[in-house]
Structure 1
Amino acid sequence: MTGPAALMRAYFETITDLLARIEAEEADSIRAAAVLVADHAARDRLIHVYGPGGHSNLAAQEVFFRAGGLVNVSAVLDEGTLLSGGALRSMAMERTPGYGRLVVEDNRIGAGDLLILVNAYGINAALIDAALTAGERGATVIGVSSRIHADSTAPDHPARHPSKKNLHDLVDVHVDTKVPVGDAVLEIDGIDERVGAISTFANAYALNCLMAAAIALLAERGEKPDIWRSGNAPGGDEANAVFLHRFRGRVRWL
């Protein structure tokens, strides 16, 4: 399989097969998580989303300040693991015990708060510290990660937290993205390594389904949630101005 058309077809089918598994197997988990998100939005509380990990940060950004998304979402865009600060630095920080604790404390996430932790593999030290700290401080935690990837990672892997715990063991509700071990999914003749990562698709699908389900629940209750409109759409700036007035002082990275 070397031609572009064959590669495109194989990649497309692998992605859609994975998304279909999430749809078929995670509906109950997504609904349970959506109830938590809807409850917080109804009380005008923030929904914190943190993706400690180079590319897992993209998931937090995916549902933050997003057209069609809840205004109440507050992404934790901590510089420590953002790739913009350097890829090797990002990996070192996500493997540093105690770092996730500092991030949760610095963002004052605690009792009565809701934190969504999203990470492709569900094992790194910063992620586990964030989950443990948020729980200790009384926050409700939703986890979005791959159970098979975490369960297949050796206890002594250098990315792991000293406790050897997995995200899915620590949260109130877990959504399993089912990302296969290694993330990359395409095999090319003559190439030893697989190519074509899949976790960004899985994370984005799971999180957007979660947010859409929460909005639908609010509508069923007769609530009218605050939803961003694209600033590039007609009337977008005007529609969003009301939200900016209310949230700019509350959402750290707005």
Structure 2
Amino acid sequence: MGSPSAEDFAAAAHAAIDRVTKEQAGGVARAAELITAALAADGIVQAFGTGHSEALAMEIAGRAGGLVPSNRIALRDVVLYGGRPPESLKGPDLERGTESAALLYELAAPHPADVFVIASNSGVNGCVVELARLAKEHGHPLIAITSAEHTARVRPRHPSGQRLRDLADVVLDNAAPYGDAVLPIGGGARACGISSITAALLAQQIVAEVIRRIEAAGAVPPVYLSANVPGGDEHNRALETRYAGRIRRTA
């Protein structure tokens, strides 16, 4: 067996992208319908992911070409806004346990019409599952992005025994294998994770479908311009004022 190459990873990425595009089209459409309805009701998108799945939340909330009515929830919010000591962020306990989810929900202060998009490759860590449970208990639609293969093979860390997929209205499979990495290397290990690429694909497909629906209804989608083009800041600030106090934009 040879060592993995850039070309090998490109081929694996193309295969995963093709699979997601073919198999998740229906789920993407359902997710877009939920988000479009939420925005029409003056809701916003509450996006959350831990670890590398935070990349999904960054695709959804606060980037050029994305939807302005979107908020990124992050584990560090418990320190930045919730008064917890910085030491709270050390190690895996915050992600694996359930006790910070209630504070994250409180800090996000969701409106009744808000929709949640939560990403977790494993779909079993306590904080992710507990936040999903809180979202559903408060009546919010929930879209989950996870690895169907990985989540089926690992034990849930939430005391309820539930996985993220068990709580969602729409479940999107990111096509990542068990362990996320796709290229075999020596010693039986694998390298090069794929979930961030396919999660970004799903996020942008959802955004595209939401925009299509808004324009089909004769409205103007509230979409960010790049802050690095002339007039971008002014355009973005004007849209952000509609959601003042509801969307956080941190470095």
- TM-score, structure 1 length as denominator? 0.87
Once residues 199 and 107 of structure 2 are traced to their aligned partners in structure 1, the CA distance between those partners, rounded to angstroms, is 25
- Structure 2 CA distance for partners of 1:105 and 1:87, relative to 1, 3 Å: closer
Unaligned runs of 5+ in 1: none
Moved segments of 4+, more than 6 Å = 85-88
Aligned-residue CA RMSD (Å): 2.3
Report the counterpart of residue 182 of structure 1 in structure 2. 179
Write the distance in 2 (CA, Å) between the matches of 1:97 and 1:223: 40
Please, which moves more after superposition, 89-98 or 201-210? 89-98
Structure 2 unaligned blocks of 5 or more: 80-85
| Separation (CA, whole Å) in 1 of partners of 2:205 and 2:102 | 28
Partners of 1:121 and 1:15 lie apart in 2 by: 19
Identity value in percent: 31
Residue from 67, 73, 83 that aligns with 1:76: 73
Q: Which amino acid aligns with 1:112?
A: A
- CA deviations on 1:136-165 (whole Å, 9 max, x unpaired) are 11111111111211111135xxxx111221
C-alpha separation in 2, matches of 1:62 and 1:77? 13
User: In the alignment, which residue of structure 1 is the partner of 2:12?
Assistant: 14
Secondary structure of the structure 2 residue equivalent to 1:56:
helix
Q: Which residue number corresponds to residue 40 of structure 1?
A: 38
User: In the comparison of the two structures, how many residue pairs are matched?
Assistant: 244
Correspondence for 1:132:
133
Give the Å deviation of 1:210: 0.8
Taking the aligned partners of 1:183 and 1:10, their CA distance within structure 2 comes to 15
Tell me if 1:55 matches 2:55.
no
Aligned-pair CA distance for 1:80: 6.2
Q: How far off is 1:129 after superposition?
A: 0.4
- Is contact 1:81-1:90 (8 Å) kept? no
> 1:154 maps to what in 2?
155
What letter corresponds to residue 14 of structure 1 in structure 2? A
Q: Does 1:103 align with 2:100?
A: no
Q: Distance in 1 between matches of 2:192 and 2:204?
A: 22
Contact 1:65 1:71 in 2 (8 A): yes
2:197 matched to 1:201? Answer: yes
Q: Deviations over 1:1-32 (max 9, x none)?
A: 656xx611110111111111111011111100
Structure 1: distance between partners of 2:241 and 2:107:
24
Q: Secondary structure at the match of 2:117?
A: strand
Query: Match for residue 237 of structure 1?
Result: 233
Q: Give the TM-score taking structure 2 as reference length.
A: 0.88
Residue-by-residue CA offset, 1:169-195 (whole Å, 9 max, x unaligned): 11111111121101111123x354211
